[in-house]
Amino acid sequence: MNATTINTPAGTPFVEVTREFAATPAQLFKVMTSKELLGEWLGPRDLEADIQEYDVRPGGKYRYVHRDANGEYAFRGVFHNVEQDKLIIQTFEWEGAPNQVCIEKLTLEPTETGVRLHQQSVFPSVEGRDMSVEYGMADGINDSMDRLAELVAKEG
């Protein structure tokens, strides 16, 4: 299985995530943008996902809630640009940290063996980024990327 690389340069508001998948860009994009499949891969395995809105198009919105025995964790955002099988630019906000809105750019690049997902996130401050890292962001990203790879292989 391919590993997920998470880069959080010290003293910056940036997070970069890279992962290679054994799929075509079209296959990965389809699974990533399907409202019906989103809850099967997004977030840690031990959380239940409630996908309330997921409209992947420029101007479309999303909102989902993860739940566990300790409570609920809601996230929302707006899609700014969507290019089929290539690019998604969106905002991302954890409702537990209001007004800490990230800008995320996700690209899909074909490789010799599949597709490379590259996501760049810009937080409004270094402190906001560091808070997300401290809350276990890497665990959620790693679990999500592993689950996404499993789902893409199954949906193929």
What pLDDT score does 97 carry? Answer: 84
Mean pLDDT in residue range 53-72: 96
The enclosing domain of 61 has a CATH number of 3.30.530.20
Amino acid at the residue 31: V
**Contact yes or no for 94/100 (Cβ under 8 A):** yes
Percent of the chain at pLDDT exceeding 90: 88
Amino acid at the residue 145: M
What pLDDT score does 1 carry? Answer: 59
Give domain status of residue 156, yes or no. Answer: no
Cα gap 9→54, rounded to integer Å: 30
Give domain status of residue 111, yes or no. Answer: yes
Domain assignment of residue 110, given as a range: 5-134
Give domain status of residue 144, yes or no. Answer: no
Q: What are φ and ψ of residue 8, in 5° steps? A: -125, 80
Which secondary structure element, helix H or strand E, spans residue 37, and what is its range?
helix 35-41
Mean pLDDT in residue range 63-72: 95
What pLDDT score does 61 carry? Answer: 98
Nearest alpha-carbon partner for 76 in 44, 60, 123: 60
Any idea what the Cα angle at residue 35 is, between residues 32 and 37, rounded to 5°? 60
Give domain status of residue 33, yes or no. Answer: yes
Percent of the chain at pLDDT exceeding 70: 99
Which secondary structure element, helix H or strand E, spans residue 153, and what is its range?
helix 137-155
Give domain status of residue 121, yes or no. Answer: yes
Which of 59-63, 65-69, 70-74, 135-139 comes out lowest in average pLDDT? 135-139
**Contact yes or no for 73/65 (Cβ under 8 A):** yes
**Contact yes or no for 89/79 (Cβ under 8 A):** yes
What pLDDT score does 132 carry? Answer: 87
